[in-house]
Amino acid sequence: MSVSHLYPVILCGGSGTRLWPLSRKSFPKQFVKLGEGETLFQAAARRTTGPKTQPPVIITNSDFRFIVTEQLDEAGIEPGAILIEPSPRNTAPAILAAVQYLAARDPDAALLVIPSDQVMPDRAAFAAAVEAGLEAAARGRIVTFGIHPTRPETGYGWLELAHPPEDARPAAIPLARFVEKPPAARAEAMLADGRYLWNAGIFLVTVRTALAAFEAYAPGMLAPVRQAVEEAGEDLGFLRLAAGPWQRADEISVDYAIMERADNLDVVPFAGAWSDLGDWASVLREGESDAAGVGRFGHATAIDCTGTLLRSEAEGLELVGIGLKDTLVVAMPDAVLVADRSRAQEVKQAVAALKAKGARQAEHFPRDHRPWGWFETLALGERFQVKRIVVHPGAALSLQSHFHRAEHWIVVSGTARVTVNEEVRLVAENQSIYVPLGAVHRMENPGKVPMVLIEVQTGTYLGEDDIVRYEDVYARGQGAKG
C-alpha cells in the first residue's frame, strides 16, 4: 500500500483542569503561554509543518474556533481544515471525523494524530520518528509512539514492546500490550525492564486502515460520524459537523474503542525530550529552575525556598514565598492555588469542588476571549461593572443592544469607530462616548494597532447574555458567545 500524503490531525478540545487556575474550561492549557515562547497549540502545529506534510486538520469546538485561527495566524501557519465538534464526544468520534473527511478527499492518505498540549522541543527527532513509522503505516499497521521513560511515572499509561529496541535509531516494534497507569512498585519494575515506554497518545495510520479498524471494533460509530461529516456546514471557513447525527455517536476514547482491541499495532520509540505538562509538578520539573529547584515566573520572589514553583499571572501582583519546600503556588487575578508538590494531581478535585459550589473561577478565565479581541473585568459591584476591552486591528464587535444596562466607553489607546443608533463617529484617545440603555450600537477598530478602551456598565443586570445581535461578521448568533 502506498501513501499519497501525510495529514497532521491536531486535537485541541480538552480542558486541562490539572493546570488550574491558569488553564480552565473557557481557555485551556493548549492556548496558554506557559513560558516565554509559543503556546502548546502553536508548537504542535509547527512541529507537524514541513515539506513532507499537508496543512494540518484541526478538530476543536465552537468556543475555541477563533482562538485557533488567531493563534495559527500569529504562528504563520495555514490550516487545511478546521472541524467544529457540536459537542464533546471524546477522541474516537473526533478522530473518525477527520478520517471520514479525508476519505472523501484523499483516500490513500495517512493521518498523524497528535494532542495539542504536549512539549516536544526536538522537531528533527520527532520528524525522524514519524518517518520511521510511515513505512509500517503503509503496510496497514497502526503506529503509536512511545517515550523512553526517565522515571517510574505513575501518572502515565505505558506501552509494553514485543522486544527491547535494538539501538537508538527509531524503528517500528510490535506492541505487546497497553499498561494502565501503574502503582509505584510496578512503575519501578517497568523502568528497569527496558521493554516499556510511556504512551505519548500520538499515532500514525492510513485512512483505509483506520476505517477498517472502526469497522471491526466500533462499527456503530461509522454511520453517524459519516453523516455528521457529509452534512457539515461551511461557516466562515470552518466546517461545522452536523449536530443530530453527531449526538448518536458513542462518547468514547480512541484507546478504548480501537487501540486496546486492535492486533496490528506497532510502536516507534522516541528518545527526544517530551512532557504532557499534565500538572504543575511537571511544569516545575520541565521548566527553568535555580540551584534550589525553585521555578519563578512573573513577579515572584523566593526566600529560603526549595523545590517550589512560584508563578504570578496577575499584572502588578508580587508573589513572595518564604521558607517553602516542595510547594506549588500559582496566583491569578481571581484565584490562587497553593498545593503540596506531591499532590499536584489533586488539583482536578479542587476544580470539581469549586464547580459544585458555583464558583465562576472553576471554569471561566478572567480574560474572556472573543473573535474580535478580549476583555477582562476590573471591578464589579451590584449595579456597575468596569471592563478593559482590547479590539484587534480591523476587528468589529457585533451591532447590538442591551435590555438592562447602559455603557460609557473611554478610549485609552488607538481609535474607535462607534455606532450609536443612527450616529457614526470616530472616538480618539482620551475621548469618550455614552451608549444609552436600549441603543443599537457597535464598536470597531479601523486602525492598524490594537484599540484599548475602558467600559463602565451601569444597570440592573450585567450578565454577558443580555445582548441582542443584529449584525455580526463572525456569525455567532444570539447569546453570550453564540
- What's the gap between Cα 150 and its chain centre? 26
All cell numbers assigned to 330? 500559582
Better-predicted residue by pLDDT, 133 or 37: 133
pLDDT bracket for residue 92 (50, 70, 90): very high
Q: DSSP 3-state assignment of 235?
A: strand
Please compute, for residue 81, the number of CA atoms within 13 A of its CA located in the half-sphere on the CB side. 22
Contact 207/109 with Cβ under 8 angstroms?
Answer: yes
DSSP string, 251-296: ---HIIIIITT-S-EEEEEE-S--B---SHHHHHHHS---TTS-EE
The answer, yes or no, to whether the previous bond of 21 is cis (omega within 30 of 0) is: yes
Residue 1 has pLDDT above 80, yes or no: no
pLDDT bracket for residue 306 (50, 70, 90): very high
User: Looking at residues 213-229, what average pLDDT do you find?
Assistant: 97
CA dihedral (188, 191, 193, 198) positive or negative: positive
Of 338, 367, 374, the C-alpha closest to 20 is 338
- How many Cβ atoms are within 10 Å of 309's Cβ, its own excluded? 30
Of 108, 103, 111, 9, the C-alpha closest to 60 is 9
- Residue 370 CB burial class (10 angstroms; 0-12, 13-18, ≥19): buried
pLDDT bracket for residue 482 (50, 70, 90): very low
Contact 304/322 with Cβ under 8 angstroms?
Answer: yes
- What's the gap between Cα 322 and its chain centre? 34
**Distance (Å, rounded) from C-alpha 339 to C-alpha 330?**
9
Residue 232: φ, ψ to 5°: -65, 150
Model confidence over 384-434: pLDDT tens digits? Answer: 999 999 999 999 999 999 999 999 999 999 999 999 999 999 999 999 999
**Distance (Å, rounded) from C-alpha 225 to C-alpha 215?**
12
Q: DSSP 3-state assignment of 228?
A: helix
Query: 223-246 burial string, b = 16+ CB within 10 Å, else e?
Result: ebbbbbbeebeeeeebbbbbeebb
pLDDT value for 15: 73
User: Looking at residues 100-126, what average pLDDT do you find?
Assistant: 94
Cα 312 to Cα 135, 319, 334, 364: the distances in Å are 47, 6, 12, 18
Residue 378: φ, ψ to 5°: -95, -30
**Distance (Å, rounded) from C-alpha 162 to C-alpha 198?**
15
Q: For 343, left (φ over 0), alpha (ψ -120 to 50), or beta?
A: alpha
Model confidence over 64-84: pLDDT tens digits? Answer: 988 999 999 999 999 999 999
- What's the gap between Cα 315 and its chain centre? 23
Average pLDDT value for the chain = 93
Residue 412: φ, ψ to 5°: -110, -15
Cα 122 to Cα 197, 200, 219, 312: the distances in Å are 18, 15, 38, 28
Model confidence over 461-475: pLDDT tens digits? Answer: 998 889 999 998 888
Quote the strand ranges of 40-125, DSSP E.
57-61, 81-85, 110-115
- By DSSP bridging, strand 6-11 and strand 110-115 are parallel
pLDDT value for 225: 97
Of 258, 243, 277, 278, the C-alpha closest to 88 is 243
pLDDT value for 235: 82
- By DSSP bridging, strand 142-147 and strand 384-391 are unpaired
All cell numbers assigned to 25? 474550561
User: Looking at residues 179-185, what average pLDDT do you find?
Assistant: 92
Which residues lie closer than 8 Å to 216 by C-beta, 6 or more apart? 262
Residue 479 has pLDDT above 70, yes or no: no
Model confidence over 321-373: pLDDT tens digits? Answer: 999 999 999 999 999 999 999 999 899 999 999 999 999 999 988 888 888 99
List the domains of the chain with CATH numbers.
Answer: 6-270 (3.90.550.10), 287-356 (no CATH), 367-471 (2.60.120.10)
Question: Over pLDDT 70: what percentage of the chain?
Answer: 99
Of 156, 155, 158, 162, the C-alpha closest to 197 is 158
User: Looking at residues 378-385, what average pLDDT do you find?
Assistant: 92
Residue with cell 485557533: 68
Model confidence over 241-288: pLDDT tens digits? Answer: 999 999 999 999 999 999 999 999 999 999 888 988 889 999 999 889
Report the side by side order of strands in the sheet with 336-340: 295-297, 309-312, 327-331, 336-340
Which letter does DSSP use for residue 202 in this model? Answer: E
pLDDT value for 417: 96
